[in-house]
Structures are given as C-alpha cells and as structure tokens.
C-alpha cells in the first residue's frame, strides 16, 4: 500500500470515515488531517523501534580511507541517507589495500570504544594497515584503527535515515506483507487520541499479532555455535 491507501484503510477501519477518503494526503484538515498526521507519526515509531530492521539496512562499498585519518562520518563517505553505521560480529566491515586489490580483502575486528580509544587515540600511534573498527559514541563516526598509512578501501553496512511519507504515492520501505503493522499502529494511536477504550483494546490486540510477525521476519537471525569439549 502507498501512503494514501494506508490512510484510507485507517479511516475505513476506524468506523468514522466513509469509503475512499481521504482523496489525497495533501492539505487535509479535521478528522482526515488527523489520520494523515498519525500515519506519519506511526511510521516514525516503527522505524525508530529497533536498530536492526532488515528492511532499513543498506550497504556501502569501495569507500576510500584517507591516509592518517581514523574517523569517518556518513557524509564523509558520501552516504546521504546514513543514520548510523552497523558494526558487530554479525556484520563485518571489510577492508583491503588498494595496491593489493580486492582479492586480498579482510575483515576488521570490532573493539569496544574504550579499548579502541586507549589503543589508537592516546599518544603517538604509527599509521599502518587498518586492523580494528568501532563506533565513536558522541557522534556515531566509524573509527578505523590504526589510521591507514596508504590507500585502503572499506565496505560495510549502515542503517538508513527515517523515510518521511509526504506524497500520496509514497510507499513505506517496510515489506508490503507487513504494511498492516502501520495500519494497526495508527488505529491504536487514533483510539488513544479519541480516548476510546474499546477500539483501543481491539486495535492493540491486532497490533500485537502483526508486530510479532514483523519482528520474527525482519530482524537478523542469530546463529549459536556450540563447542563440545570432552
């Protein structure tokens, strides 16, 4: 469903608006204007609810590091839709020396911020082949250690900035099969705005089921490896 169709579904299921309304998401007032706004707000809630939505992830590749530089922002790497970098043991940041070619690509090892800071940002640290990676807490910068001493390139993943629904034809990034989560979240918010206990409980029950399906389908699978030692 697009933004308009979601608004129309919410309006219909709320029991307060007739069929095929609103006709547009633009310049609506009153009850229809409220529904249009609440759909926007519900979409922000869903996008902000988790930092590991599969549908909100994107990749960067062949991004050049700068000799002697540890810190890299999304804008610095040319990522206009960057929210924050993803760095964990399940999401590798890959690196290679340009002179060696991509066939020699290797994985940077994640470090916690405190350890990284003591190792690479205190005292004189010799620039060399990058080995570790972390995220700087104050601004979310991607930190590479040690700073490269020659041309290197990296690749990894990041979370996209929130999508803003504004035009009738806008389609949420959320997979189509899960658009009902957005409908139910808006119905919950609308019932709360109306202080309507019955509709609120009904919408909350539907939202809970839809939300469980979404989480099950759209967060990364975690693999557990068991090691047996006789």
- pLDDT attached to residue 161: 95
Q: How far apart are CA 203 and CA 181, in angstroms?
A: 11
Q: How far apart are CA 48 and CA 104, in angstroms?
A: 37
3-state secondary structure at position 55: helix
- Quick one: which of 65, 68, 57, 67 has its CA closest to 108? 65
Radius of gyration in angstroms for the set of CA atoms belonging to the chain, rounded to a whole number: 23
47 and 172 Cβ atoms separated by less than 8 Å: no
Q: How far apart are CA 188 and CA 167, in angstroms?
A: 23
DSSP 8-state symbol, 121:
S
Q: How far apart are CA 16 and CA 191, in angstroms?
A: 11
- pLDDT attached to residue 222: 56
- Report, as ranges of residue numbers, the positions in the chain whose pLDDT lies below 50: 223-230
Kindly give, in sequence order, each residue whose CB lies less than 8 Å from that of residue 174, ignoring residues fewer than 6 positions away: 46, 55, 181, 182, 214
- pLDDT attached to residue 196: 78
143 and 136 Cβ atoms separated by less than 8 Å: yes
- Cα–Cα distances in angstroms (integers) from residue 86 to residues 137, 150, 158, 208, in the given order: 13, 25, 5, 28
Q: How far apart are CA 54 and CA 84, in angstroms?
A: 14
Which helix (H) or strand (E) segment holds residue 142: the answer is strand 142-145
Q: How far apart are CA 161 and CA 163, in angstroms?
A: 6
Q: How far apart are CA 12 and CA 19, in angstroms?
A: 6
- Quick one: which of 199, 192, 186, 166 has its CA closest to 6? 186
119 and 134 Cβ atoms separated by less than 8 Å: no
Which helix (H) or strand (E) segment holds residue 58: the answer is strand 57-64
- The gap between the terminal CA atoms of the chain, to the nearest Å, is 55
Listed in sequence order, the DSSP H helices in 50-178 are 113-120
């Amino acid at each position: 469903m697009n933004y308009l169709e979601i608004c129309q579904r919410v309006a219909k299921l709320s029991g307060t608006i007739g069929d095929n309304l609103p006709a547009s998401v633009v310049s609506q007032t009153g009850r229809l204007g409220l529904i249009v706004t609440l759909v926007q707000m519900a979409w922000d809630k869903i996008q902000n609810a988790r930092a590991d939505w599969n549908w909100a992830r994107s990749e960067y590749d062949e991004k050049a590091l700068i000799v002697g530089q540890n810190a890299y922002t999304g804008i610095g790497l040319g990522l206009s839709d960057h929210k924050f970098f993803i760095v964990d043991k399940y999401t590798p940041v890959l690196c290679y020396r340009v002179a060696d070619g991509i066939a020699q690509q290797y994985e940077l090892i994640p470090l916690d911020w405190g350890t990284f800071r003591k190792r690479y940002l205190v005292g004189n640290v010799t620039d060399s082949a990058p080995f570790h990676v972390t995220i700087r807490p104050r601004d979310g910068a991607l930190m590479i250690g040690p700073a490269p001493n020659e041309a290197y390139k990296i690749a990894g993943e990041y979370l996209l900035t929130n999508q803003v629904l504004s035009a009738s034809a806008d389609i949420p990034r959320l997979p189509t099969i899960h658009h009902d989560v957005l409908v139910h979240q808006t119905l919950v918010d609308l019932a709360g705005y109306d202080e309507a206990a019955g509709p609120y409980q009904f919408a909350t029950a539907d939202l809970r089921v839809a939300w469980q399906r979404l989480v099950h389908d759209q967060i990364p699978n975690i693999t557990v490896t068991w090691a047996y030692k006789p």
